[in-house]
Structure 1
Amino acid sequence: MPKSDATRSYHHGNLAAVIRQAAWDIVGESGVRGLSLRECARRANVSHSAPAHHFGSMDNLLSEVAADGYERMIEIVSVVQSELADPMMGCGLGYVKFAKTYPHHFRLMLGSEGANRTLPRLLKSSEAALQLLRQTIRTGWVEQNGVEPDPALLELRTLLGWSAAHGYALLAIDRRPNEMDATPPEAVFKPLARFLLIP
């Protein structure tokens, strides 16, 4: 949903989406600590009780914001993959791009701040993001080796790829600006991308 929708009048049925967008904007501006149900209501121009009525608790609203984050991450990774000849590199670069674009959301999604991790939509969207990496590795493996990877090995390589991208992303958003310029993600991920496809 475009950012401006959070301040528009809403139609019956999309109030929850308007509140979610307000929460997304607040997290982007000031992190999870700046978020409150009251401020979401104010920005969405609804009663103070509306966010609690729709989401039940702050934890549930945070979970919805985290789910929105995974869906946006998938979009960004998919776009970067479409722009590169190497889809595996696209996964890593897209992951880092998302983290640098939305650092507060990234920390919410992958950290332990408040979100209800059992929310079905959050479970589904986070698994979809992981499945994108898993399927990218699987496809590359079949193209390079001519056979399906062993399922257990595929999981190990998926976790390795994710760990590397996640570690770099955290360094990129937590260290001083431009401190990582000497070691761009392409240089870090290139040997790893080759290794992930070696039997």
Structure 2
Amino acid sequence: MPTKRVVAPYHHGDLHAALRRTAWDIVGELGARGVTLRECARRAGVSHAAPAHHFGSLAGLLEEVAAVGYERMNAMIEETIATTDHAVLACGLGYVHFADTWPQQFRLMLATDIGESASPRLRETAGAVLRRVRDVLRKAWVARHGSEPSRSVLDERSALAWSAAHGYASLMLDHQTANIVLPPASKVFAPLIDALLAP
């Protein structure tokens, strides 16, 4: 589990980033419902009006936290790809590792609408994760079959890969009292590789 970071009062530099980091930490400690603009300002050592000035509203601030989450998820997937033999497997493992490391932020991301009403930054960061998964699957398909997958096949296999990773992460975080003993994610996901790449 990540250690709690003590946020020093803000003195100079990028206030927008400082408030975003503070909100990230509060979500980690208390969940999204524990975040208020006033508490964020207090911890950052700035005026109560500062968060609203930078983010417009609490919803705007939480969208920024979700966007940071997708950036960190993407980075964690990339780190896992660099240290895992199979890139397709690494995508799932990176997703689960992110959820395990930042469970409250993960829940916030899933509860945040990334449709047309979302900020461009949130749509871009969330979309970047899916694009990376699709690209990994496409490259693995080409390596195995020597040709590009059809758009429909890539859509279907991307949905399957995402569903498997998300399902495992959800069981891991929210069903710990259901007498479900989860095997390691690497063992659960390994048989799916052939299914994901089957013609």
Pairwise CA RMSD:
2.3
In 1, the alpha carbon distance for the partners of 2:129 and 2:182 equals 29
Measured against aligned partners, the alpha-carbon deviations of 1:63-95 in whole angstroms (never above 9, x if no partner) come to 000000000001111111111110111000110
Aligned residue number for residue 16 of structure 1: 16
Assess if the C-alpha contact under 8 Å between 2:5 and 2:25 holds in 1: no
Q: Report the Cα offset of residue 11 of structure 1.
A: 2.6
Structure 2 counterpart of 1:76: 76
Partner of 1:87: 87
Q: Take 1:99 and 1:109, find their aligned partners in 2: how far apart are those partners?
A: 10
Question: Quick one: structure 1 residues 135 and 160, their matched pair in 2 at CA, closer, same or farther if it must change by over 3 Å?
Answer: same
Unaligned 5+ segments in structure 2 are none
Give the drift of 1:163.
0.7
Paired residues for 1:32-181 under 5 Å? 32-112=32-112, 118-176=118-176
Displacement of 1:5 in angstroms is 8.4
Q: Distance in 2 between matches of 1:90 and 1:105?
A: 21
Q: Matched residues in 2 for 1:70 and 1:5: separation?
A: 23
Q: Which residue identity does 2:140 align to in structure 1?
A: G
AA at the equivalent of 2:106: F
How far off its partner does 1:36 sit? 0.4
- The 3-state SS of whatever aligns with 1:196 is helix
C-alpha distance in 2, partners of 1:63/1:5?
22
TM-score relative to the length of structure 2: 0.91
Q: Which residue type is aligned with residue 29 of structure 2?
A: E
Number of residues paired by the alignment? 196
Asked if 1 retains the 8 angstrom alpha-carbon contact of 2:63 and 2:119, the reply is yes
Question: Taking structure 1 as the reference length, what is the TM-score of the superposition?
Answer: 0.91
Residue pair 1:28, 1:104 contacting (<8 A) in 2 also: yes
Judging changes above 3 Å, is the alpha-carbon distance between structure 1 residues 182 and 112 closer, same or farther for their aligned structure 2 residues?
Answer: closer
Alignment partners' CA distance in 1, 2:103 and 2:175? 12
Please say if residues 73 and 95 of structure 2, whose CA atoms lie closer than 8 Å, have aligned partners that are also in contact. yes
- Structure 1 portions without partners, runs of 5+: none
Cα shift at 1:8: 4.9
- Residues 79 and 17 of structure 1, relative CA distance in 2, 3 Å threshold: same
1:182, 1:159 → 2: CA distance? 22
Aligned in 2, Cα 1:175/1:117: closer, same or farther, shift over 3 Å? farther
Moved over 3 A (4+): 3-6, 179-182
Q: Equivalent pairs: percent with the same residue?
A: 48
